[in-house]
Structure 1
Amino acid sequence: MSFGDTSNLPDISVDDNVISLFGPWHPLDRLIGYLNGRSRLFVNGWGDERVLASVLDTEPFQSSPAAVAIAWDRPHVARGVERTAGRFVSPNTALPEPVRAGHVQRLRSARPRGGPRTACVVLAGSREEGFALRQGIFGPLAREGIDLYLLENPYYGLRRPPGQRGASLGTVAEHVLMNLAIVDEARSLLATLREGGYEQIGVTGYSMGGFMAGLAASLTREPLAVAALAAGASPAPVFTRGLLAHSIDFTDLGGSAAGAEAARRRLASLFDRARLTHFPAPLHARSAILLACRRDGYVPRTETLALHAHWASSELRWVNAGHISALFTERHALRAAVRDAFARLRGQEPRHRIRPRAMSYFVPRPSPRR
């Protein structure tokens, strides 16, 4: 599998005309984008050039990480859900020692049901520290019999290295290393679940978590339920042309105003190495569901459509929301995507319903060929 070349990347300009190509953004996306823009990414520059060179010169993910040993704490039960914290050592040996200590939280029903044992790895989004957001969104699935395993991202929350403030990483190299480790850890956890006797396993996430879920699924050559939520085929335009790009000072990253455009292009080229269309589709792409937001100011719809085209038998759903607002107004749709991905994995048809109030959750029909 190859990362491919990036010679066909779209032209990227620093002016607002290119950014406007993303279409009508939700006001909440704009507000959060403005607030996050005050917490800068990559203020310490590119970072360790050896890490960046390894991405350009080698092909990672050539080996399959082994299962990991998880040390579980005493469980806590509330509202019918058993919640347990666990710790493990990351299979990614390039992480700094304080960051390599992994953390996972397991949610499962306190009253187990019959049927096949089912588990889903839930990956975090950009700057998402802790587990509260994902618990609120996906927690109800645990009561339905889907055991959830929530990973804390390297460099975030419990895994911050000494001296790091907040979840805005200081260098590009740290961000790259974090993403490489997320994929390694997700794959190791999937292997752990399989060895632990789960009969049906899956992976999901929102935004960056959705993209990483898609990458982990593409690299796992066994059938999985996949719900890639608010994600596209590549992170490159997210960091260089959408609202998240306002968090990056490209002038500073490029060393001068004249170097800003070159820095933007370098970042796009680097992040596009992980483009999902460079990898095989998941082994059972029919059990993959993509969910996109019509008013997304972070992930362009062209990237989601490109991923859907590459995962030819996947299902694409749209919600009438922004990237941020969907986390609160469309939680039913996010859970339904996970639930229905497992239904497809079992060979059943999903049972999602369209709510009469807004037509905000539906599968668009393809336009007829002319």
Structure 2
Amino acid sequence: MVSINLGVLHYFLDHMYGAFVHRTKLSTPFFSKGWGGSKLDLLESLVKQLFPVSEVQNLPPIMVQPIWKMVWETKNACLREGIFRTPCEERLISALPPESYNARVAFLAPKLVPPQKMACVVHLAGTGDHTFERRLRLGGPLLKQNIATMVLESPFYGLRRPRLQHGAKLLCVSDLLLLGRVTIEESRGLLHWLEEEAGFGKTGICGVHAAMVGSLHPRPIATLPFLAPHSAVVAFCEGVLKYATAWEALREDAEEETGMTLEQAKQRLRSVLSLTDVTRFPVPKNPKAVIFVAATDDGYIPKHSVLELQKAWPGSEVRWVTGGHISSFILHNDAFRKAIVDALGRLQWRVS
């Protein structure tokens, strides 16, 4: 009875937070500027070009070459920050705001161990995670196990946030698809750099977009989607974020051309966001090195969404932490770290 009551409390807290932040006028909603016009058409076509799924794991590698500066170093570890031009094709770059052209990364690594005997995990941002600090705190204790942490600042976040955007509230639907596609391309470039340039013996990816990146990578890597849906549909059309969506702005933007009703606007958003459905992507090279960490009472990401992706990727594992979406980010860092260690342990060391 106690555990049930606690679960209800966590779920209630997610919805209370969502109601306060998203239903009041204190916060600008997502997609307040509408669909994104021709940018949305471009992004839809580019996503569809990733298929058939039999070919996407054979995409050519993406090359990045970060320019590094030392932030601090001790006898055993160092923290560097790097910057590189986003490696995306020109059509994507032209759709990005200028603030997002350059990617920023933080790189926390041991100093006394050769790279071929270390692992490194690229940590991707969750919604609203604008800085490096939280993810560096998550990865810091892993240094003792010779696991380095690389943190990518997402496009549209942090110093890459467009001037007119408030917080994490993307202005257009096209921005959401663009954020995802650019994050995938930049992550692919960083993984290639870690493997080929830095020479790390094992690599991994964690965060909201981790499943897509792990699916597309041509080699086995640890893939750790943390509190992540199988599709943006469940986040924006079913979970708490549906209260943060500017439905009327979407209806009005489309009405000028099609006379769309509010219900039709909702169906149109579901259709667009279905392009992010990771169950359509190929199974990663080593599905046993895929560990989903999900919350038992998540008001943002329903249980069925996590289980759908696990079903699509036989051999993958789901681990449940007790709590809601927000409380889990605060209370369960040890569970996230253990998942990282265990997923990397299921990989073979690369032979250079």
* TM-aligned CA deviation for residue 79 of structure 1: 10
Q: Indicate conservation of the 8 Å contact 1:98/1:161, yes or no.
A: yes
1:79, 1:26 → 2: CA distance? Answer: 44
Q: Secondary structure at the match of 1:265?
A: helix
* TM-aligned CA deviation for residue 75 of structure 1: 3.4
Higher helix share: 2
2:49, 2:341 → 1: CA distance? Answer: 31
1:54, 1:90 → 2: CA distance? Answer: 18
Q: Secondary structure at the match of 1:233?
A: coil
Q: Secondary structure at the match of 1:298?
A: coil
Matched, 1:51 2:48: no
Q: Indicate conservation of the 8 Å contact 1:137/1:327, yes or no.
A: no
Instruction: Call closer, same or farther: CA 1:319–1:26 in 2, change over 3 Å.
Output: same
1:114, 1:293 → 2: CA distance? Answer: 34
Q: Indicate conservation of the 8 Å contact 1:71/1:87, yes or no.
A: yes
1:67, 1:36 → 2: CA distance? Answer: 39
* TM-aligned CA deviation for residue 320 of structure 1: 1.0
Structure 1 unpaired stretches of 5+: 1-22, 348-370
Structure 2 unpaired stretches of 5+: 1-7, 51-55
Q: Indicate conservation of the 8 Å contact 1:74/1:84, yes or no.
A: yes
The corresponding residue for 2:83 is: 87
Instruction: Call closer, same or farther: CA 1:252–1:66 in 2, change over 3 Å.
Output: closer
1:39, 1:303 → 2: CA distance? Answer: 27
The corresponding residue for 1:243 is: 240
The corresponding residue for 1:303 is: 305
Matched, 1:220 2:191: no
Q: Indicate conservation of the 8 Å contact 1:65/1:91, yes or no.
A: no
1:310, 1:50 → 2: CA distance? Answer: 33
1:34, 1:81 → 2: CA distance? Answer: 43
The corresponding residue for 1:64 is: 60
AA aligned opposite 2:41:
A
Q: Indicate conservation of the 8 Å contact 1:113/1:145, yes or no.
A: no
AA aligned opposite 2:30:
L
1:79, 1:135 → 2: CA distance? Answer: 18
Instruction: Call closer, same or farther: CA 1:35–1:66 in 2, change over 3 Å.
Output: same
The corresponding residue for 2:17 is: 32
Deviations 1:138-162, CA, capped at 9 Å, x for gaps: 2211332111110000011011233
1:79, 1:308 → 2: CA distance? Answer: 42
Instruction: Call closer, same or farther: CA 1:193–1:166 in 2, change over 3 Å.
Output: same
Q: Indicate conservation of the 8 Å contact 1:88/1:102, yes or no.
A: yes
Aligned pair count reads 320
The corresponding residue for 2:275 is: 273
The two structures have a TM-score, normalised by structure 1, of: 0.81
* TM-aligned CA deviation for residue 247 of structure 1: 0.5
1:303, 1:261 → 2: CA distance? Answer: 23
* TM-aligned CA deviation for residue 100 of structure 1: 1.1
Matched, 1:230 2:231: no
* TM-aligned CA deviation for residue 179 of structure 1: 1.1
AA aligned opposite 1:139:
G
The corresponding residue for 2:5 is: none
Instruction: Call closer, same or farther: CA 1:114–1:176 in 2, change over 3 Å.
Output: closer
1:326, 1:96 → 2: CA distance? Answer: 32
AA aligned opposite 1:54:
L
The corresponding residue for 1:171 is: 172
2:44, 2:227 → 1: CA distance? Answer: 27
* TM-aligned CA deviation for residue 310 of structure 1: 0.9
* TM-aligned CA deviation for residue 173 of structure 1: 1.2
Instruction: Call closer, same or farther: CA 1:266–1:114 in 2, change over 3 Å.
Output: closer
Q: Indicate conservation of the 8 Å contact 2:99/2:159, yes or no.
A: no
The corresponding residue for 1:117 is: 118
Deviations 1:3-32, CA, capped at 9 Å, x for gaps: xxxxxxxxxxxxxxxxxxxx8852331233
The corresponding residue for 1:361 is: none
The corresponding residue for 1:332 is: 334
Instruction: Call closer, same or farther: CA 1:153–1:55 in 2, change over 3 Å.
Output: same
The two structures have a TM-score, normalised by structure 2, of: 0.84
Deviations 1:168-209, CA, capped at 9 Å, x for gaps: 11111122211110011111111111112112111111xxx2
AA aligned opposite 1:32:
Y
Q: Secondary structure at the match of 1:229?
A: coil
Q: Secondary structure at the match of 1:189?
A: helix
The corresponding residue for 1:357 is: none
1:236, 1:25 → 2: CA distance? Answer: 22
Q: Indicate conservation of the 8 Å contact 2:195/2:201, yes or no.
A: yes
Deviations 1:234-277, CA, capped at 9 Å, x for gaps: 11111011101111121232128972221111111111112111
2:111, 2:15 → 1: CA distance? Answer: 40
Q: Indicate conservation of the 8 Å contact 1:80/1:143, yes or no.
A: no
* TM-aligned CA deviation for residue 214 of structure 1: 0.4
Deviations 1:194-231, CA, capped at 9 Å, x for gaps: 112112111111xxx2xx11001111121111111112
Report which stretch shifted further, 26-35 or 307-316. Answer: 26-35
